[in-house]
A and B are shown apart, each in its own frame.
Chain A
Amino acid sequence: MSKLMGKFKDNIFSLKNACFFIKQAYYLNPAGVLVKIPEVILQVVLKFLPIFLMKEILNGIQLHMGIKKAMMWITLYSLLLLVCQGLASWIHIFSVRQISKTNRVMRMDLTDRINKLSYQDVEKPETRTFIKMLEDNISIPDLLNSASNIVMETLVLFGVIGIICTLQPLIIFLTVSVLIVRAVVNNFSRRLWDKWRMPVNDKMRKVSYFLDILRDSSFGKEIRINGLQRWISRKMEGAEKEYIDTMSDYNKQIQARNAFVELALILQELVVYLLLTYRVFFGNLLVGDYSMYITSISTFSSSLGSMIDSFSGILKAGDFLTLYRKMSERGDPEQSAEETEIPPDLVIRFDHVSFSYPNTSRLILDDICLELKSGQSLSIIGVNGAGKTTLIKLLCRFYTPTSGIIYLNDKDISTIPSDLYKKILGVVFQDYKLFGFSVADNISMSSTYDTNCLYDSLTKCGLKEKVDALPKKENTAMSKVIDNNGVEFSGGESQRIELCKVLYKNPSIVILDEPTASLDPFKEYELYKMMYEYTKDKCSIFISHRLASTQFTDNIAVITDGKIVEYGTFDELLKINNGVFKKLFDLQSSYYKR
Chain B
Amino acid sequence: MEKLKKMKLLFQLTKKVCPYLYFSTFVTSFLSIAQALTYVFLPKYILDALVNHEDWNLVLLLVGVFIGIIAVIKLIDLLTKPWRNACINRSNIDIVNYYMGLAAHALYATFETSDYRDKLDTALGEIRGGETVNFCVQICSAIVSLSIYAVFIASINPFLLIIMLIIIVSNTIAKMRLERLKNKVIPNFRRNDRFFNYINRTFSSFENAKEMRVNHIEMLVRKKYDENIKERWGLDTYYTKKQLRIELVQNFASAMANVLLYGYTAYLVLVGSMSIGSFSAFIASTYGVSNAVSSMISAWLDMDLKLKFVPIYSEIMALAQEAETVLTSWKAESQLEIKFENVSFKYPNTEKAVLENINLTLPQGCKLAIVGENGAGKTTFIKLLCRLYHPTSGRITVNGVDIKKIPTEVYTKLISVVFQDYKVFSFNVIDNIVLDSEFSEEKINEVIEKADLTQKIETLENGINTFVNKEFESNGVEFSGGEAQKLVLARAYYKNSPIVVLDEPTAALDPIAEQYLYEHFRSIIGNHSAIFISHRLASTSFCDKIAVFSHGKIVEVGTHQELLNIGGVYASMWNLQVELYAGKDRG
Q: Provide the main secondary structure of the chain B interface.
A: helix
Does A588 belong to the interface (CB within 8 Å)? yes
Chain B residues closer than 8 Å to A554, beta-carbon distance: none
Q: How far is the CA of A398 from the CA of B408 in the complex (A)?
A: 50
CB neighbours (8 Å) of B198 from chain A are 436, 481-482
Per-position 1/0 for B512-540, Cβ under 8 A of A: 11110010000000000000000111110
Contact with B along A207-235 (1 / 0, CB 8 A): 10111011111111111111111110101
B263 close to A71 (CB less than 8 A): yes
B478 at the interface (CB under 8 A from A): no
Is there contact, CB below 8 Å, between B74 and A592? Answer: no
Q: How far, in whole Å, are A501 and B258 apart by their CA atoms in the complex?
A: 68
Q: Is the CB of A223 within 8 A of B232?
A: no
Assembly CA distance A461 to B436 (angstroms): 46
Measured between C-beta atoms, what is the minimum distance from B256 to chain A in Å?
A: 8
| Residue contact B213 to A119, C-beta cutoff 8 Å | yes
Measured CA separation A258–B251 after assembly (Å): 38
Judge if B159 is at the interface, Cβ distance under 8 Å.
no
Cβ A525 vs Cβ B436 within 8 A: no
Q: Is B332 an interface residue (CB 8 A)?
A: no
Contact A89 B247 (CB under 8 A): yes
CB distance from A418 to the nearest CB of B (A): 8
B276/A61 in contact, CB under 8 A: yes
A330 interfacial by beta-carbon distance below 8 Å? no
Interface of chain A: mostly helix, strand, loop or mixed: helix
Interface string of A65-109 (1 = CB under 8 A from B): 011001100110111011001100110110011001100110110
Q: Report the minimal beta-carbon distance from A323 to chain B, rounded to whole angstroms.
A: 13
Interface membership of chain B positions 100-132, coded 1 if the CB is closer than 8 angstroms to chain A and 0 otherwise: 100110001001101001001100000000000
Q: Are A213 and B425 in contact (CB under 8 A)?
A: yes
- With A206-B471, A231-B436 known as contacts, the answer to whether A134 contacts B269 (CB < 8 A) is no
17 contacts between A and B (CB under 8 A): A74-B266, A97-B237, A115-B212, A119-B209, A206-B472, A221-B386, A240-B93, A243-B89, A248-B85, A251-B82, A266-B67, A277-B59, A281-B59, A425-B214, A480-B114, A520-B372, A575-B586
Complex interface residues of chain B between 65 and 91 (CB less than 8 A to chain A): 66-67, 70-71, 74, 78, 81-82, 85-86, 89-90
Nearest Cβ distance between residue A405 and chain B, in whole angstroms? 20
Query: Are A446 and B43 neighbours in the complex by a CB distance under 8 Å?
Result: no
Q: Could you tell me the distance between the alpha carbons of A81 and B256 in the complex, rounded to whole angstroms?
A: 11
Q: How far is the CB of A219 from chain B (nearest CB, A)?
A: 5
Measured CB to CB, the nearest residue on chain B to A109 is B225
CB neighbours (8 Å) of B103 from chain A are 214-215
Interface size of B by CB at 8 A reads 153
Question: Closest residue of chain A to B469, judged by CB?
Answer: A209
What residues of B have a CB within 8 angstroms of the CB of A220 in the complex? 108, 111-112
In contact, A383 and B200 (Cβ under 8 angstroms): no
B220 contacts partner chain A, Cβ-Cβ < 8 Å: yes
Q: Does B553 contact A (CB under 8 A)?
A: no
A422 interface neighbour in B43, B207, B215, Cβ under 8 Å: B215
Who on chain B is nearest to A118 by CB?
B213
Q: Are B243 and A584 in contact (CB under 8 A)?
A: no
B511 at the interface (CB under 8 A from A): yes
Q: At the interface, yes or no: A384 with Cβ under 8 Å from chain B? A: yes
The stretch of B4-12, B45-53, B148-156, B357-365 in contact with A is B45-53
Q: How far is the CA of A170 from the CA of B216 in the complex (A)?
A: 67
Q: Does B423 sit at the interface, judged by CB under 8 A? A: yes
Residue A179 CB within 8 A of the other chain: no
Contacts of B53 in A (CB 8 A): 281
Q: Which of chain B's residues have a CB closer than 8 A to the CB of A568?
A: none
B586 contacts A521, CB within 8 Å?
Answer: no
Asked if B218 is at the interface of the complex by the 8 Å CB criterion, the answer is yes
Residue of A nearest to B245 (CB): A89
Chain B neighbourhood of A355, CB < 8 A: none
Q: Which residues of B contact A398 (CB under 8 A)?
A: 210, 213
- Residue of A92, A213, A523, A525 near B374 (CB, 8 A) is A523
Please indicate the chain A residues that have their CB under 8 angstroms from the CB of B121 in the complex: 215
A584-B283 Cα distance, complex, nearest whole Å: 91
Q: CB-CB contacts of B422-440 with A at 8 A, as 1s and 0s?
A: 1101110000000110000
Please determine whether B97 and A236 come into contact, CB atoms closer than 8 angstroms: yes
Contacting B480 at CB < 8 Å: which of A70, A217, A266, A385? A385
Query: How near does chain B come to A268, taking the closest CB pair, in angstroms?
Result: 10
Q: Determine if B205 is an interface residue (Cβ-Cβ < 8 Å).
A: yes
- Do the beta carbons of A287 and B436 come within 8 Å of each other? no
User: Quick check: is B26 within 8 A (CB to CB) of the other chain?
Assistant: no
Q: Is the CB of B465 closer than 8 A to any CB of chain A?
A: no
**A584 and B511 form a contact (CB under 8 A):** yes
